[in-house]
Amino acid sequence: MAHVTYPPLDTLKPVATDLWVVDSGPLRAMGIPLPVRMTVIRLQDGTLLLHSPTRYTTELHRQLSKQGPVRHLVAPNSAHWTMVKDWQQNVADVMTWAAPGLRKRSGVKRSAVRLDRDLEGETTTGWPDELEQIDVPGIGGFHEICLFHNPSRTLILTDLIQNLEPRKMPQLLRPLLKLAGNDAPGGRAPRYLRAVVMLKGKPAREAALRLKALQPERVIFAHGAWFETDGSDRLEKSLDWLLPADRYKQVTSVVPAASDLSSGLAKSSGGSLVTSLCSLRLAFPSGHLFPGKPRH
């Protein structure tokens, strides 16, 4: 069994001044193991913000407390909220911020997780001044809120880029990564998620241009090997399917090439279905977290 995660797990790892990551997992989607990552930011007032919280442990809480009190939790899209409730139950006086529309989803309602405020831009009362929000929208009510940490020039994403290393995955699953299009070293969003975002049209493309204009030094995201260096160049390559460019190139980045579909697990007609389902699950790694129209 390959070691899909990035040990040591559930422990603070320094990235830059006032910035850490916490690697955790594996999550499992249709039996596929996935690494997952949280980003921790110490704000100017000395408190901590947890972006896309991973599993709670008392030891991790102890490590965090040495850096400052946890005061903010961020659920940045429709998939990355399931660990929030555990942190709420163990951390006093914490504010939970949620992607637009997240509170309307049936799975969120059933969970009874508390979502205090929606992420609606930097002018939202109580939002930290040093963090810029960029909303990347998709169809079906999908939103991923990306954060830019100005002091460290770090862009923080969730699923908009996935960079899963084939060498760390079980051998039988490696062809699926290539077909999903989220394999390292040039990882992108899985094809299903690309379609969800691309179909939103101009607002999504404009959001991608905003991300590119930030020219980050590094890019952190939830799944796979994050971009520790050359952040701006690697970001542009990973978002080539969304940035305004040749239309044919954009279409072929979502639809697998015929040569891909004739190899590996895609040889049979059932293989194409498996590929589509796994692309979907790689984007939303829990069965009740698929994007869809919010229930009102």
DSSP string for 240-255:
TTTSS--HHHHHHHHS
Q: What is the pLDDT of residue 254?
A: 55
* Residues 170-215 pLDDT 10s: 898 899 888 999 999 999 999 999 999 999 999 999 999 999 999 9
Residue-range domain boundaries for the chain: 12-283
CATH of 12-283, one of 3.40.50.300, 3.40.720.10, 3.60.15.10, 2.60.40.60: 3.60.15.10
Q: What is the pLDDT of residue 123?
A: 78
Q: What is the pLDDT of residue 30?
A: 65
110/130 Cα distance (integer angstroms): 34
Positions of the chain with pLDDT lower than 70, given as ranges = 1-2, 30, 245-296
174/282 Cα distance (integer angstroms): 13
Count Cα neighbours of 160 within 13 Å in the Cβ-side half-sphere.
36
Between helix 231-238 and helix 202-214 the angle, nearest 10°, is 160
Mean pLDDT (the chain) is 86
Percent of the chain with pLDDT over 70: 81
What are the beta bridge partners of residue 32? 29
Q: Which amino acid is at 296?
A: H
| Through-space distance between the first and last CA atoms of the chain, rounded to whole angstroms | 43
pTM: 0.84
Q: What is the pLDDT of residue 244?
A: 82
**In terms of DSSP bridges, do strands 19-29 and 12-16 run parallel, antiparallel, or are they unpaired?**
antiparallel
